[in-house]
Every structure is written in C-alpha cells, then in structure tokens.
C-alpha cells in the first residue's frame, strides 16, 4: 500500500515540476518585449521623400479618436517613393512594418496602419490621408 502511495506521490511531484517550469512568453514574434502597457496611439508622423528630406508642407494632424492621420505634402511630391515615419506610444509597434521605400500614391484608397499596444492586446487602425498642397 505504501508502495502505491509513493508512486502516486512521485507522479504528482513530477507533474507539478513540469507545470511550474512552463515559462510565460515575454517576447512577441518579432522578439520585442511584451509589457503591461495598454496605451495605443500615434504621437507623431513624418513623411520623407526619396532624398530623405521632409515632403510635408505643414505638421501632420493626428486624431487619436477618429484614428486618422491627415498630412499635406508639397507640390510635386513623388508619393510612389516615400518613407513614412511613425512615433508611437511606449512599447507599441506598427503593423505592417515600414521596411523601406513605400508607395502611398493611391490617394483614393488611403493606407491603413495598425498600432499594437505594449501588452499586444489592443490594436487600433489609423488611416493615413494624404493630400497635395
């Protein structure tokens, strides 16, 4: 009887160890730290031309309630070859990522960028509206 008791106890102990050793993932699929922050917004926006000089004619207007970014660009800006730059709330990330030259020339269908919060549980879509000076 004591023998069965020992075996059962051993199995329970091993199970407990296995469960207790399971580590919570603290980084996301991009290797970025997942935090407890819930803030999720765009705080600043810049648009650079192919020569890495700003093509904005005035400061971009960011509406965090309507989730829109309105930016006016200089006459003659080649929107097929621009570099958008987003400043986000702490620990947030952007989806899709901006990896290089971006084509924003389709003004009829504004591009949508999603901001993901630090805890990766909140996602907000921002519509990027561009118009010429």
Partner 1 sequence: MRNKNIQFSFLVIMMLASLVACKKEEYTIPDAVSQLTNDCIKRTIGPSIVSLPLEFAYAMAIPKSSGKLVSAQVEASIAGASGTYLEHRSFFTNSSGVDVPVLVGSPSLTVDKTTKMTYSIDTNAATLRYYYVIPEEARGQSVSFTFSVTSSDGKTASYKMGPYTVSRMSIKKNLAVSNGVNAFISIEDMAVYNAAAAAAIPGKIDLVYLFRAVPTTFTHALVSPAADAAYLPGVTLPAGLNRSTKLRKVFNLQDRNLANLQFGIYVDDVDLKNVDMVDMPNYAIGLRAEAGVWVETADKKYRAYIFVNSITAAGTAVISMLRYTL
Binding site for partner 1 (CB under 8 A): 49-53, 57, 74-76, 78, 80-81, 103, 133
10-30 exposure pattern, b = at least 16 Cβ within 10 A, e = fewer: eeeeeeeeeeeeeeeeeeeee
Residue 15: phi and psi, rounded to 5, are: -60, -45
Q: What minimum distance in Å lies between the beta carbon of 117 and partner 1?
A: 34
Residue 114 to residue 122: CA distance in whole angstroms: 10
Q: What minimum distance in Å lies between the beta carbon of 26 and partner 1?
A: 38
Residue 57 to residue 111: CA distance in whole angstroms: 20
Q: Which is nearer to partner 1, 95 or 103 (CB)?
A: 103
Q: Which is nearer to partner 1, 48 or 94 (CB)?
A: 48
Q: What minimum distance in Å lies between the beta carbon of 58 and partner 1?
A: 12
- For 70, residues 6+ apart whose C-beta sits below 8 A from its C-beta are 60, 61, 63, 129, 131
Q: What minimum distance in Å lies between the beta carbon of 104 and partner 1?
A: 12
The β-bridge partners of 132 are 73
């Amino acid at each position: 009887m004591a023998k069965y008791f020992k075996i059962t106890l051993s199995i329970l102990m091993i199970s407990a160890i296995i469960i207790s050793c399971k580590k919570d993932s603290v980084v996301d699929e991009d290797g970025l730290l997942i935090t407890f922050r819930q803030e999720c917004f765009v705080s600043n926006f810049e648009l650079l031309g192919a020569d890495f000089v700003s093509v904005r004619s005035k400061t971009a207007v960011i509406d965090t309630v309507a989730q829109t970014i309105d930016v006016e660009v200089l006459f003659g800006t080649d929107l097929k070859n621009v570099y958008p730059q987003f400043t986000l709330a702490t620990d947030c990330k952007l989806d899709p990522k901006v990896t290089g030259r971006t084509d924003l020339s389709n003004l009829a269908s504004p591009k949508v960028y999603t901001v993901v919060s630090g805890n990766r549980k909140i996602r907000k879509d921002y519509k990027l509206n561009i118009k010429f000076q």
